[in-house]
Amino acid sequence: MVVVTGGAGFIGSCCVWELNKAGICDILIVDHLGSSDKWKNLVGLSFLDYIDKDTFLTRLESRMYDDSITAIVHFGACSATTEKNADYLMENNYRYTLRMARWWEMHQSVRFIYASSAATYGNGEHGYDDDESKLDMLRPLNMYGYSKHLFDQVAFRRGWLGHIVGLKFFNVFGPGEYHKGEMQSVIAKAYSRVRDEGIITLFKSYRLDYRDGEQNRDFIYVKDAIAMVLWFLSNTDAHGIYNIGTGRARSWNDLAHAMFKAAHKSDGRIEYIEMPESLRKQYQYTTTATLTKLRLAGCTHECLHLEASIEEYIQEYLAFGKTHSAR
Catalytic site positions: 144, 180
CA-closest candidate to residue 224, choices 20, 14, 64: 14
> Hey, how many other C-beta atoms are within 10 angstroms of the C-beta on 324?
27
Which H/E stretch holds residue 234? helix 222-234
CA-to-CA dists, residue 234 to 71, 100, 214, 254, angstroms? 10, 21, 38, 34
Sequence-distant (6+) residues with CB within 8 A of 309 are 173, 174, 219, 221, 223, 224, 303
Determine the Cα–Cα distance for residues 38 and 13; give it in Å rounded to an integer.
Answer: 9
Query: For residues 225 and 177, is the Cβ–Cβ distance under 8 A?
Result: no
